[in-house]
Structure 1
Amino acid sequence: MDDPILALILTAGASLAVAIPCLLAAYLCRRRRSKAPVKPAAQPELPVSVPASIAHQDSSSWSFYGSSAADSSLAKLSLADLAAATGGFSPSNIIGDGSFGFVYRAELPDGGGAVAVKRLETHGAAGNREFRAELEVLGSLSHPNLARLLGYCAAGADRILVYELLHRGSLDAWLHGDGGPDDAPGSRCVLTWPARLRVARGVAAALAFLHHDRRPPVLHRDIKASNVLLGDGFEAKLADFGLARVVKGSPAASHVSTQAAGTAGYLAPEIWAGVGATAKADVYSFGILMIEIVTGHRPSWPVKPNVEEKEEVDLVDWAREKIQAGKASEVLDCRIGIDEGQGKETEEMKGLLDIARQCTEGVPKDRPTMEEVVAMLNKL
């Protein structure tokens, strides 16, 4: 073989010997990179205003307001619409603080009126649980004494619920604040006795419906004054079903959870003891609420039984002792202005407190059902 040809063959062989390992190494590196986990893109922060560029994205109809929403599916709303309606979720539009988020007043477009928008905190699992609970319970129910759920929004990490707006605000604001939001600033409006009695009857009717007329039954698990909203004529509307649970079988026998849930001061003693919640725990909380309605004091309010005594006692224990001693009139909210001589209202007040005493018995089986409570209230 000629020397030039041999030299050419040797040169080509040497080049291939170098190129093949390089190509193989490049192939293996690329394969490794393709198998490496892809880091997800960072989630954008939720908008607090609506830029013009997204003003028409995810458009939704607001026609649910004023329609028979209780008989149809809930409206699924867009984040853009809700942000626009609340002024970018402006702090100036906050009208309440729910269990897991703020409640905003929202103005519907085209003069559609106002609604209440609850934007849930979803940093943990609690906000998502509340969202699902409210949709499961209120999304399928209709009752005059339940706050009406109109629509919802699930966009990214955001969970938002839209309710009818009750202009008179919460029972808590009327008992312990300056009255409803429609009152003049600085005014101190006192809830009259007829209004308080109507509120008690309304909440009782709502709970009786949930426990006995709904299948499967529902336990609210967070009865308190701030979860009672007031409509025109002081009609009570039970709200905030974030801790509610649907139970299997009889509500009197079914334990939905052994974990304490609710608000301190309203919780039944068996809940603190680690016993699962039943309908009788809701009955106990309702009894506490009735004592609060009559006395005008929160359940956590400390009481000195006598001026001379230094030790304070629990409001509920003090009220129950007065009721059992036949001195119910001594626990009445003095702002109401009921005198002993006002027979009908005095008897109604005493009757309400006696029902409250029965509802707050320490042993669950000694408490009445909410159906029995409604019957007793209707006789006052």
Structure 2
Amino acid sequence: MAVGAAVLVLVILAIGIYALMIKKKTEKAVKNSRPFGSWGLARGEISGGAPKLKGARWFSFEELRLATNNFSTQNVIGSRGYGKVYKGMLAVDRQMVAVKRATAESMQGGAKFKTEIELLSQVHHMNLVGLIGFCFEEGEHMLVYDYMPNGSLRDSLSGRTGIILDWRKRIRIALGAVNGLTYLHEHANPPIIHRDVKSINILLDETLNAKVADFGLSKLIKDTGASGHITTQVKGTLGYLDPEYYMTQQLSYKSDVYSYGVVLLEILSGKEPIERGKYLVREVRTAIERGGINALAQRWLLDTILAESPMTPSILGSFVRLALHCCEDYGTNRPKMSEVMKELEAIAEDMGDNERDEETTKFGGGVLAIHPYAGSASFDYSGSGGNIVPSFVQP
């Protein structure tokens, strides 16, 4: 009798646990299918007078289909692991936009998509790409951004846009990017670590103002504690990835600083972070150690455009030292992003003074030969580009 009662209790308990698990699973599914319920919105309220979230508009699928000419291949302005980016024009106000459309394989859950929208709608700065709105309909995850007509910094460095970036323009772009990143680290509430700083994520508007884009991997930092870091899964792009973060899974603001230092070296050289198995950080560091500043041109580590630009060795030296300081192996040895900004501002100020100084130099002595990698295509470190990508990170 007692044994039978005990078995009955266990059966009832098992049924209760199973029912609870099913309930939680159902609630999670509902949350993912209707993640925006807490905003007081439902899927049936998408079309027509679209509501807003902290400045971000909820677009219907039909609106974005029309804006992009039915997602025409002629409107594609970017394609990466997550999907494609389309240029579009909104029918209501004729505004040009960029529509980021995720593939089914790269889609995150509805709740995570909502979190990303909330993050993007909270950050407003002149050097960050602005979120206009989003679409969560017809099984689609789409984000709508301000359109940047001059593409990415990488596009211009590789010559794809036809824009000639002289030394002054490059410093201005670098300053714009570091200004946006400093805002994320020190002025956003809560602070944000970007986690994927790279030249392809620095976009240029019609007057070449730099705007940091693509917060898909960004991490909200509510409290790093006394350690100054958080432990999290490693995400980012090889060549830009902080080696300390890669090895320890400890993410910090200094991880972005490392990536930004790599961007500075791209600005200097025109090269990508990894070319033909060679790491740009290591190549520049070795050249400086063996031959000083003049060795950069001799080793093809100074963009030919800059090699023919008048500049003082002191300005170039300051820029290279700053970039390598950002790329120190250990985060504790790197500057804060705001400190990087101050250093760049000082370099820009020195450039203004030295414009009137006749003691300028053309590095390398005369016209340099064509850069051996000038025609190489942009690497795709997501693994879809067919290029050889090392499976480990070397600083």
Alignment partners' CA distance in 2, 1:94 and 1:159: 17
After TM superposition, the structure 1 stretch with the greater mean CA deviation from structure 2, 114-123 or 162-171, is 114-123
> 1:85-113: per-residue Cα shift (whole Å, max 9, x none)?
11111111111125512110111115522
Pair 237,160 (structure 1): closer, same or farther in 2 beyond 3 Å: same
SS in 1 for 2:214: coil
After TM superposition, the structure 1 stretch with the greater mean CA deviation from structure 2, 207-216 or 328-337, is 328-337
Alignment partners' CA distance in 2, 1:313 and 1:159: 37
Deviation at 1:130, TM superposition (A): 6.9
Name the amino acid aligned to 1:171. Answer: L
For the 8 Å contact 1:291–1:356, the answer to whether it is kept is yes
Alignment partners' CA distance in 2, 1:347 and 1:131: 47
Pair 369,349 (structure 1): closer, same or farther in 2 beyond 3 Å: same
Whether 1:336 and 2:302 are equivalent positions in the alignment is: no
Name the amino acid aligned to 2:218. Answer: A
Aligned-residue CA RMSD in angstroms?
Answer: 2.6
Name the amino acid aligned to 1:327. Answer: I
| Equivalent residue for 1:320, pick from 285, 292, 298 | 285
Which residue is 2:365 aligned to? Answer: none
TM value normalised by structure 1: 0.72
For the 8 Å contact 1:266–1:288, the answer to whether it is kept is yes
Which residue is 1:349 aligned to? Answer: 316
Which is bigger in relative contact order (C-alpha 8 A, separation at least 6)? 2
Alignment partners' CA distance in 2, 1:136 and 1:58: 17
Alignment partners' CA distance in 2, 1:315 and 1:147: 27
Name the amino acid aligned to 1:318. Answer: E
Whether 1:271 and 2:259 are equivalent positions in the alignment is: no
Alignment partners' CA distance in 2, 1:332 and 1:223: 22
Alignment partners' CA distance in 1, 2:292 and 2:114: 46
Deviation at 1:323, TM superposition (A): 3.4
Which residue is 1:73 aligned to? Answer: 55
Alignment partners' CA distance in 1, 2:140 and 2:225: 33
| Equivalent residue for 1:374, pick from 326, 341, 351 | 341
> 1:202-224: per-residue Cα shift (whole Å, max 9, x none)?
11111111111112210000011
SS in 2 for 1:105: strand
Name the amino acid aligned to 2:47. Answer: S
SS in 2 for 1:233: coil
Which residue is 1:59 aligned to? Answer: 47
SS in 1 for 2:304: coil
Which residue is 1:258 aligned to? Answer: 232
Deviation at 1:238, TM superposition (A): 0.2
TM value normalised by structure 2: 0.69
Q: What percentage of aligned pairs have identical amino acids?
A: 34
Whether 1:158 and 2:143 are equivalent positions in the alignment is: no
| Equivalent residue for 2:255, pick from 281, 304, 307 | 281
Which residue is 1:24 aligned to? Answer: none
Alignment partners' CA distance in 1, 2:306 and 2:112: 36
> 1:318-352: per-residue Cα shift (whole Å, max 9, x none)?
1022334532652210123435xx345x5433322
Pair 151,352 (structure 1): closer, same or farther in 2 beyond 3 Å: same
Which residue is 1:214 aligned to? Answer: 188
Alignment partners' CA distance in 1, 2:88 and 2:49: 15
Alignment partners' CA distance in 2, 1:300 and 1:128: 35
Deviation at 1:123, TM superposition (A): 3.1
Structure 2, unpaired ranges of 5+: 1-44, 348-395
Who wins on radius of gyration, i.e. which is larger?
A: 1
Whether 1:363 and 2:330 are equivalent positions in the alignment is: yes
For the 8 Å contact 2:261–2:324, the answer to whether it is kept is yes
Structure 1, unpaired ranges of 5+: 1-56, 180-187, 303-311
Which residue is 1:104 aligned to? Answer: 86
Alignment of 1:223-262 (within 5 A): 223-250=197-224, 253-262=227-236
Which residue is 2:126 aligned to? Answer: 144
Deviation at 1:164, TM superposition (A): 0.6
Alignment partners' CA distance in 2, 1:251 and 1:239: 28
Alignment partners' CA distance in 2, 1:252 and 1:83: 49
| Equivalent residue for 1:189, pick from 159, 163, 172 | 163
Deviation at 1:244, TM superposition (A): 0.2
SS in 1 for 2:87: strand
